[in-house]
Amino acid sequence: MGRDKISELPDEVLCHILSFVPAKYVVRTSVLSTRWKSIWASVPILDFEFENIPIVWRDENQPDPDGFRWEAEDLSDHVGFLAFVDRVLYFRGLSDIKKLRLHCYCRVEDASRIDGWIRSAFSHKVVELDLCVQAHYDEYIEEPPLELPRCVFTCKTLVVLKLMSNFITYAPPTSGCCFPSLKSLDVRVDFPENDSMEKLFSCCPVLEDLSIKATVPDHNRQNFKVSAPELKRLRMTFFSFINGAEDFEYNISVNAPKLEYFNIKQDYLSHYTFENLKSLAKGSVDLYCHIGKTQVGFSERATALLEAFSNVKYLFISAHYVEDGCLPAFNHLTELKLVLYDCYHWDLLTELLKKSPNLQSLVVEHKEDKECIEEHGDVLNSADRWRTPESVPICLISHLKTITIRGLKIYPHEQKVLKYLMKNGKVLDKMTIYAKNGAYKDFIPRRASRT
């Protein structure tokens, strides 16, 4: 019989290998031999997952009062999962936990158990916590049954935190230091409390990376306040349950003097306050809702939002509609990617070229949207959907060297744009066009081919 070379490896190496394996398989290695009997208890990364929604939340023709019902065998699987996590953490010993990943669907009565798991991880000096806990609970329960334990906010070893739950509230303590070592925070929150989002993102002294995904209601005023002296990357995505004609009271405040990258995606715009964004170099703005332009105060809010990106060197914009007067001057912009829809007349491209005198690289992508086609389909074949500029933008004359057009349908107004760019791009080295059918073609101006 050949030698078992893997079993001869040091404990540290075996633990590292097992760190890439889900916990339920890691524990099974204990039956391999005496050598492996206790290795699993020292693996630094624990990955627990129980995510079968149809099993946990089985909808029946005659449901229970809360609309869902557990079947005996499904409940047994879930109880088995809970007991398994209990055992793994109980026999953990004194070894630290580098990362705990817990993704599960559960019942309201499991709250105390999950609270215990979180506290156990922090007693083992956890460095990274990835927590995704979802539950179905009776409608008469007004608030989630579990508060994030205080130890999460005060832990000195926690560096990375990911939270997504309709089961847990995230409100930090009102006093004392919070997240002293946290550098990366990724949060998904649905229908937050009025002031919880104002507190959570303003108590992170060394935070460098922040991602927020939120579903925001229209029945109360929301304040998302980000104040982080070391923040470098910020991503914000918002989904809104509102009527576009209403004045949506929804505030975003950002104060981040070291912020380098800012990505924001919204259906309806909010009120904005931006301070100390002097380091911002790269930005992304995605206004993805077709009817968002019907919102009261849209132009004023779009102006305030886009002003925050006036000093960036790279910018991505995806919009169904932005008025000409909403754009600031982008004097430092060298790379631009613009996504347009059928409801737009391509005039946003003209305005951006005018506002970006130092632009060197341009990518324009056309995307289809069913609502846009239904509303504007009867005029898509009109060349009047793009107006020739009265004067040639400075960037076309002196700086713009590469242009890429994607998703082209060769509408008359699109052909008009292409001819204009080719004719007036005095320093243009190359234009690449990708049609909607997948075909593409490179155009190299004669002046470039002679050099």
Residues 126-136 pLDDT 10s = 999 999 988 76
Cα dihedral 47→53→56→60 (10° resolution): -170
Mean pLDDT confidence for 236-245: 71
pLDDT of residue 229: 94
Does any domain span residue 318?
A: no
Q: What is the band of 213 on the pLDDT scale with cuts at 50, 70, 90?
A: very high
pLDDT in tens, 292-337: 566 666 778 888 899 999 999 999 999 877 776 788 999 999 999 9
pLDDT at 58 over 90: no
Same domain, 235 and 337: no
- The Cα angle at residue 286 between residues 248 and 276, in degrees rounded to 5: 80
What is the Cα–Cα distance from 76 to 153, expressed in whole angstroms? 34
Same domain, 38 and 160: yes
Same domain, 18 and 116: yes
Lowest mean pLDDT among 84-98, 148-162, 186-200: 186-200
Same domain, 162 and 182: no
Fill in the amino acid letter for 40: W
Boundary of a domain, candidates 260, 275, 308: 308
pLDDT at 186 over 80: yes
Same domain, 296 and 338: no
pLDDT of residue 293: 61
pLDDT in tens, 59-86: 444 444 444 555 555 567 778 888 889 9
Same domain, 216 and 122: no
Same domain, 24 and 163: yes
- The three state secondary structure string of 343-392 is CCCCHHHHHHHHHCCCCCEEEEEEECCHHHHHHHHHHCCCHHHCCCCCCC
Boundary of a domain, candidates 241, 274, 308: 308
Mean pLDDT confidence for 426-439: 84
62 or 171, greater pLDDT: 171
pLDDT of residue 60: 44
Q: Both tokens of residue 183?
A: 């550098």
378 or 158, greater pLDDT: 158
Q: What is the band of 290 on the pLDDT scale with cuts at 50, 70, 90?
A: low
- The three state secondary structure string of 24-82 is HHHHHHHHCCHHHCCHHHHCCEEEEEECCHHHHCECCCCCCCCCCECCHHHHHHHHHHH
What is the Cα–Cα distance from 189 to 198, expressed in whole angstroms? 13
What is the Cα–Cα distance from 421 to 79, expressed in whole angstroms? 65
Residue 408, classed as helix, strand or coil, is: strand
Query: What residue numbers bound the domain in which 391 lies?
Result: 329-450
Same domain, 161 and 196: no
Question: How many other C-beta atoms lie within 10 A of the C-beta of residue 185?
Answer: 22
What is the Cα–Cα distance from 383 to 386, expressed in whole angstroms? 6
214 or 281, greater pLDDT: 281
% of the chain exceeding 70 in pLDDT: 75
Q: Both tokens of residue 130?
A: 């990835």
Lowest mean pLDDT among 33-37, 167-171, 237-241, 440-444: 33-37
Same domain, 384 and 435: yes
What is the value of pTM for the model shown?
0.83
Largest CA distance in the chain: 85
What is the Cα–Cα distance from 434 to 219, expressed in whole angstroms? 45
Same domain, 15 and 121: yes
Does any domain span residue 193?
A: yes
Does any domain span residue 71?
A: no
Burial class (CB in 10 A: 0-12, 13-18, 19+), 165: buried
Q: Check if the beta carbon of residue 240 is closer than 8 Å to that of residue 269.
A: no
Lowest mean pLDDT among 8-17, 87-96, 441-450: 441-450
pLDDT at 153 over 70: yes
340 or 360, greater pLDDT: 360
41 or 271, greater pLDDT: 271
Residue 390: alpha-carbon gap to chain centroid: 40
Same domain, 426 and 294: no
Does any domain span residue 319?
A: no
Q: Both tokens of residue 121?
A: 């991880």
% of the chain exceeding 90 in pLDDT: 37
What is the Cα–Cα distance from 388 to 424, expressed in whole angstroms? 12
Residue given tokens 């946290």 in the structure block: 182
pLDDT at 442 over 60: yes
The total number of structural domains in the chain stands at 3
140 or 362, greater pLDDT: 362
Boundary of a domain, candidates 255, 277, 308: 308
Does any domain span residue 303?
A: yes
What is the Cα–Cα distance from 310 to 330, expressed in whole angstroms? 5
Does any domain span residue 266?
A: yes
Same domain, 183 and 163: no
What is the Cα–Cα distance from 23 to 363, expressed in whole angstroms? 45
Does any domain span residue 65?
A: no
Question: How many other C-beta atoms lie within 10 A of the C-beta of residue 176?
Answer: 10
Q: What is the band of 206 on the pLDDT scale with cuts at 50, 70, 90?
A: very high
Does any domain span residue 322?
A: no
pLDDT of residue 184: 97
The DSSP element (H or E) to which 156 belongs, if any, is: none
pLDDT of residue 317: 93
What is the Cα–Cα distance from 348 to 162, expressed in whole angstroms? 37
Mean pLDDT confidence for 261-290: 89
